[in-house]
Amino acid sequence: MCGIVGYIGKRDATPILLEGLHRVEYRGYDSAGIAITRPGGLQVLKCQGRVRDLENMLPKRFKGAPGIAHTRWATHGEPSDHNAHPHCDAANRIAVVHNGIIENAAALRARLMSEGITLRSETDTEVLAHLIAAVPAETLADAVRQVLRIVTGTYALAVLDAERPEAIVVARNGGPVVIGIGDREMFVASDPAALVAHTRSVVHLDDGEIAVVRADGYETSTLDGGPTAKTPSVIDWTSGSFDKGGYSHYMRKEIVEQPEAVRRTLRGRIEPRFQTAHLGGIELTAGELLDIRRIKVLGCGSAYIAGCVGAHLIEQLARIPAHAEAASEFRYRNPVIERDTLYIAVSQSGETFETLAAVQEIKRKGGRVLGIINVVGSTIGRECGRGIYVHAGPEIAVVSTKTFTCTSIAFALLAVHLGRIRDLSTADGRRLTRALAAVPEQIEEIMGREDEIARLAEMLLGCEHAYFIGRSAGYCVAMEGALKLKEVSYLHAEAYPASELKHGPLALITPQTPTIVVIPRDDLFSKNVSTIEEIRARRGPVIAVTHPGELPVKVEAAFTVPQSEPELDPILLNIPLQLFAYHVALRKGCDIDKPRHLAKSVTVE
Ligand code: G6P
């Protein structure tokens, strides 16, 4: 949520910052801005709109270093030129870019105004620039420290001082900050994506840390000034893996990449000798896993829905009661934390604020948390300390596709592992691990029929509403299908358990309201057929997502996916719904990779 980039070194900062901004733009994209230091002071340019709008405005002479830049997802104050970051003090000496929310901004704004300072924006961030400029301090880091002591809230910050251009100061409390180590030049960012073109050696700040970043090195310390020790780590993603690679949209690229991504999730994790899964990072012994009486899965958005798929898998295969809940809800209801419950946090970015807060709440109460995370080294991954990295690769489109699939695969591996410690037989272990190994090719088979899905998508073009229904794990598929469609195409899509349709939503079925029915050939098949009959009796159009074979009921259209084992079917049934949402959005001319009002990683509450 919001992107920060900074550069200090001998080169001109502007092209480096702009390129970095493009790479983190998926984190927020309602306005963008840049500040660079050059002899005589700061040069600042900012505007509402995308990074390319900022680029188009840049005068030729916009050159210098160090510099900081920002792409915004509005929290305080609507998207506008004056609310865009960087924010500066009255003398244009200090420039600040900020992700997060300053909770006592209203009181600080009132204080500044009573001192006669004119505020030029409605943001919470601007107060920081004025305060940093006003405090008497020997160094910029001292000034930032003093101000942060009176600030409450969350932040990832980068600060420039035109009079002290030898350093950029960055600070972190609840929002990611990464320092990239170059050769006599240094980079800062809110996301390693902005750094990979220049360096793969990075240092992640922890909450409560502040860093002074010079061209030839960096020092980290706490807000009290006590030094902290950091060990650089290596980013395992290359610059190329962040590119669109010839595709018109990241979303389509990431959907198409799924067979390879799933192979990465599975690599080295199937243990044929014992017909189970090998998961090196969970760091719990078989004895400890045997003591687990309950599993609670937490995440937000698609990560939460992947958690619902995962809870089904665990309950079926390991016979451990398992349940998923939105992390955002969980943390505020004073949850009971139990010793024999295993908590699982799911997150693509590993930075979602509410998931992180839920993990911290569980740990504070003495609970054990395991992470299922995509971004290696991310905050939630580090906070959990144990878990499964899904290795889906960078996911840039705001909507999650390949990570959803790979997370479901990671859950299937965990479920097999937990099951094989309990009652899952070797025969079932073999059946499921073989089925998992076949998933990449089965996804390829679905990809080969994208034209069919594009034709189905046309059926939705004149509609304003759609239902997605399914039973049991099929309902999770319906939830994710509906979420994808509303996120990218802005069509009102609602997911409902098929069994509940007659208890309310049937009243809304009309010839203009299609229902997408997830109907695998499992033991609930005939129940789903009855539900389709009920919809048709109300003249509602039906699109079935099902397995090969005749449907004993008439439907407007059907798409078939290859059959897996029943427990794993939801993973494949979801794939056509991703392409379906993509093609509806494409035909409607929507901004597929950057849907309105959304951001890839929500690092505020
Ligand atoms: C945002 C994104 C969703 C994502 C959710 C959780 O809402 O728009 O696509 O599923 O955050 O993100 P995470 O990085 O924790 O999986």
pLDDT in tens, 209-219: 999 999 999 99
225 near 233, Cβ under 8 Å? no
Query: With a 6 A CB cut-off, is 300 part of the ligand 1 pocket?
Result: yes
Percent of the chain surpassing pLDDT 90? 85
Residue nearest to atom 4 of ligand 1 (CA): 301
Residue 267 has pLDDT above 90, yes or no: yes
Quick check: CB of 202 below 6 Å from ligand 1?
no
Atom of ligand 1 nearest to the CA of 300: 6
- CB 302 near ligand 1, within 6 Å: yes
- Please state the rounded mean pLDDT for residues 258-280: 94
What mean pLDDT is reported for the chain?
A: 94
Verify whether ligand 1 is closer than 6 Å to residue 28 (CB atom).
Answer: no
* Distance from the alpha carbon of residue 59 to the mean position of ligand 1, in angstroms: 36
Which of the residue ranges 68-72, 237-241, 277-281, 497-501 would you say has the lowest mean pLDDT? 237-241
- Candidate from 60-64, 321-325, 406-410 with smallest mean pLDDT: 60-64
DSSP 129: H
Q: Which residues belong to the active site?
A: 2, 600
Q: How far is the CA of 397 from the centre of ligand 1 (A)?
A: 11
Give the C-alpha distances (Å, rounded to integers) separating 268 from 36, 125, 263, 444, 565: 47, 46, 10, 21, 21
How many whole angstroms separate alpha carbon 253 and alpha carbon 424? 37
CB of residue 483 inside a 6 A radius of ligand 1: no
- Ligand 1 centroid–CA 293 distance in Å is 29
Give the Å distance between the CA of 331 and the centre of ligand 1: 17
96 alpha carbon, distance to own chain's centre: 25
Shortest-distance atom of ligand 1 to CA 302: 10
Average pLDDT over residues 155-168: 96
Confidence of residue 184 (pLDDT cuts 50, 70, 90): very high
How do residues 290-339 score in pLDDT, each as one tens digit?
999 999 999 999 999 999 999 999 999 999 999 999 999 998 889 999 99
Coil, strand or helix: which one is 572?
helix
Question: Quick check: 3 and 194 in contact, CB under 8 A?
Answer: yes
355 CB near ligand 1 (under 6 Å): yes
Q: What is the pTM of this model?
A: 0.85
Q: Whose CA is nearest to atom 9 of ligand 1?
A: 399
**Residues 585, 459, 303, CA angle at the centre, nearest 5°?**
45
| CA distance linking residue 160 with residue 563, whole number of Å | 57
3-state secondary structure 235-249: CCCCHHHHCCCCCCC
Residue bearing the CA closest to ligand 1, atom 7: 301
User: Would you tell me how many other CB atoms lie within 10 Å of the CB of residue 502?
Assistant: 13
| Residue nearest (by alpha carbon) to ligand 1 atom 5 | 301
Instruction: Give the ligand 1 atom nearest the CA of 349.
Output: 14
301 C-beta closer than 6 A to ligand 1: yes
- Considering only CA atoms, which residue is closest to atom 11 of ligand 1? 601
Residue nearest to atom 15 of ligand 1 (CA): 347
Q: What is the pLDDT of residue 367?
A: 96
Answer whether 407 contacts ligand 1 (Cβ < 6 A).
Answer: no
pLDDT of residue 43: 95
Residue 489 beta carbon below 6 angstroms from any ligand 1 atom: no
What is the 123 CA–ligand 1 centroid distance (Å)?
A: 24
- Residues 244-268 have a mean pLDDT of 94
- 521 in Cβ contact with 550 (< 8 Å): no
Helices (H), 448-596: 450-458, 473-489, 525-537, 569-588
Q: Which of 297, 300, 308, 404 to mutate to test the pocket of ligand 1 (most atoms within 8 A of CB)?
A: 300
The predicted pLDDT at position 359 comes to 97
Q: How far is CA 435 from CA 86, 402, 563, in A?
A: 52, 19, 10
Is the beta carbon of 347 within 6 A of some atom in ligand 1?
yes
